[in-house]
Copies of this chain bind each other. A is one copy, B any other.
Amino acid sequence: MIDIHYSAEVRAAKDADQPIVALESTIITHGMPYPQNIEVAAQVEQDIRDSGAVPATMAVINGTLHVGLEADDLKALGQAQGVAKLSRADMAACLATGGTGATTVAATMIAAQYAGIEVFATGGIGGVHQGAETSFDISADLHELAQTPVTVVAAGAKAILDLAKTLEVLETLGVPVIAFGQDEFPAFWSARSPLAAPLRMDSAEDIAKAHATRRALGLPGGQLIANPIPAEDQIPSDELAPIIASAQADADAHRITGKGVTPYLLQRIYEQTKGRSLTANIALVRNNARLAAGIARALSGQSD
């Protein structure tokens, strides 16, 4: 067992068996500049509280796993430089060597399971990168969903990925992919996409029941809830597709590869959409936080 540092709010929620929603922290350290990053993080936490659950933002700080960040921890993390982006492969090393790191989807799932939290809200999961048939670049998030029993609410996978291949890998790995309230698999900044979702559910209660059934069956993994961005906040896919394609072409032309690709593409899309991609990103994370709170409440038997 490792030591967990709980925030006072999460500690109290655990003691009282209240519903809790895990949150990742790379959105704070790698997603936006200070102080916008901590303002958005505080807003998302408040959305969860307003929806009847307790937020637990995860991070590793000086070698200690934090489950729930106090305001001063959040502020320090939001201003820190060179913070590691932790995934399954490097989380234990960071803990062992006293490092500080923000948690990706995979690491947040590990932390959530370790702390007994079953629902997690994020923006979009990682997946199969464009060109993975020759680069083999596939996010660890997919295998994490296959093995760690946490329900992850996201607006799909980040739309700069190869979404069709991402769905194939999730099927191969046996991960339930459940679109919320629609038949299509949403495409992050857009609610619509040409891809059919493997499963559809229309209530937090059904999602909670499916989660509990998986646990009862002894299946080890989680569920991906693909929650479409609200229509009023989306960038329509016919507008977005050429922007993504042109950003990808730029990345290829400048020979950007490996870990450099994602930040490069996101920055280009931010510029090309005159900042609307970031506005949409904030809207979808908040939307996911509210649904995740509903699922956590349903799992605790606190349905509406």
- A interface residues, Cβ below 8 angstroms from B: 1-2, 87-93, 95-97, 106, 110, 114, 128, 132-140, 142-144, 146, 165, 168-178, 198-199, 201, 206, 209-210, 212-214, 216-219
Contact = CB atoms under 8 A, between A and B. Distances in A.
Given A89-B177, A133-B133, A95 B168 contact: no
Contact of A217 (B90, B95, B198): B95
Nearest to A195: B258
Given A136-B128, A213-B2, A143 B174 contact: yes
A295 B86 CA distance: 24
Contact of A87 (B171, B206, B213): B171
Given A128-B136, A137-B168, A174 B217 contact: no
A128 B177 CA distance: 21
27 contacts: A2-B216, A2-B217, A88-B174, A89-B171, A89-B175, A89-B177, A90-B176, A90-B199, A91-B217, A92-B176, A92-B210, A92-B214, A92-B217, A93-B199, A96-B209, A96-B212, A96-B213, A97-B210, A106-B174, A114-B218, A128-B136, A133-B133, A136-B169, A138-B172, A140-B172, A140-B174, A142-B172
The binding surface of chain A is classed by DSSP as helix
A90 B218 CA distance: 14
A5 B158 CA distance: 42
Nearest to A87: B174
A111 B49 CA distance: 39
Contacts of A213: 2, 92-93, 95-96
A217 to B, nearest CB: 6
Contacts of A87: 171, 174
A209 B143 CA distance: 25
Nearest to A129: B168
A165 to B, nearest CB: 4
B110 A217 contact: yes
Nearest to A146: B143
Given A89-B198, A140-B171, A140-B172, 8 more contacts: A2-B213, A89-B199, A92-B213, A93-B178, A96-B206, A97-B201, A97-B206, A143-B172
A87 B174 CA distance: 7
A38 to B, nearest CB: 27
